[in-house]
Structure 1
C-alpha cells in the first residue's frame, strides 16, 4: 500500500507523511476519514466522501488531485488528452477517429483509406508537469502515445507548459521494464526515449506498410 501511495501521492492531502510505518500509515488514513479495507492479497483505500468503487493499492486507477482542498477527478483531463492526440494526428494529415465505445487496448484509430490500413493507438496521459511515467497493462495496440499534460502539481506551484507527446511503437513499450503489480512504465527506462517525441511519422509509415485492418 505504501509503495502505491508514494506513486500516487497526488491523491493525498498536501504534506502527508509517507515515511511512517505501514501500520501508522493505515492509522493516519483512518483518522482522516479514509476507508482502509485490508484483504488477503491487497489493500483497498477509499478517500473520504467517495462512495464509489474503492481504489485498490495493487491495481491501476485514474488518480485524483487536490486543489485548494477539493478533490478533482483527472478523468476529464484524460479524456481531453485523447482529443489532443486526435487533433495532432489530423493536423499531421493522418486520418483518425476516436473510439467512443470502450475498446480494450486502444482509444484512437488512425487510417490510410487508400491502402485500407489502420493503426490502433492507446493514449496514456498524466496531468502533472514532468510526470515520469504511466501505468499500462493492456498491450493490444500498435502504438502508445504518452501525453504529458504538464498542468503543474497538486500544490498549485508547478510550472505550466505545453503538452508533450511521445509516440511509442508497441514493441518499444513491450520491451520496457515495468513495476510489479501496478505495471508502471518509466519513460527513463526506454532507451533514447527523446527520439520518440512528436514522431507522428512513425504512425504514417506504419499505415503505408501495415497489413493490419
Structure 2
C-alpha cells in the first residue's frame, strides 16, 4: 500500500513538473496559426507536425489543450495520462503514437460539436515546439445529389479537409522567427 501511494505521489510530481515545463516554455516557442474547419458530428484532424532539428526522444512528453486550458491529451515520458484529460474530450481524442518519433503529434477529435469551435495548442517541450490551431465547427454535413444512375438517385457527400490559412503560411512563421532572433540579440 505504501509503495502504491509513493508511486502515485511520484506520478503526480512528474505530471506537475511536466505541466510546469510545458507552460513555461510555451511562452518562448515559435508557433504559427492554422485554421481548420469541421462539420458537426464529423471527425476532425488537428495537425501538429514538428520538422525541426532537435531529435525527438523515445519518452516524449506533450500536451494538447484549448483556450480555456481544458486538456485534450497529456503524454508524460511516452505514456498517456488520462486522468487529467477534461471530461469534454474523453473518448473523443485519437492519437498516432507510432508517428511520434517522426514528429507527428496530430490528433483526431471525433464527433465534433459547435462547442468544440475553439483555439487549441499542441506543445512538445523537449524540442521547444508549439502549434496553435483554430477549429471552427459549422452545421451538419449535407447530402448533395451528384448524378442519377439507372433510375436511382446517387448521393455523395462533401468532405471537408483541413486547410491552412494562407495568411499564416511559412512566410508568417519566418517573420516570427526573425523577430525572435532580433529580439534575442538586442537583449
Normalised TM-score (structure 1): 0.26
Greater Cα radius of gyration, structure 1 or 2: 2
Point out which structure has higher relative CO (alpha carbons under 8 A, 6+ apart): 2
In proportion to residue count, which structure has more strand?
A: 2
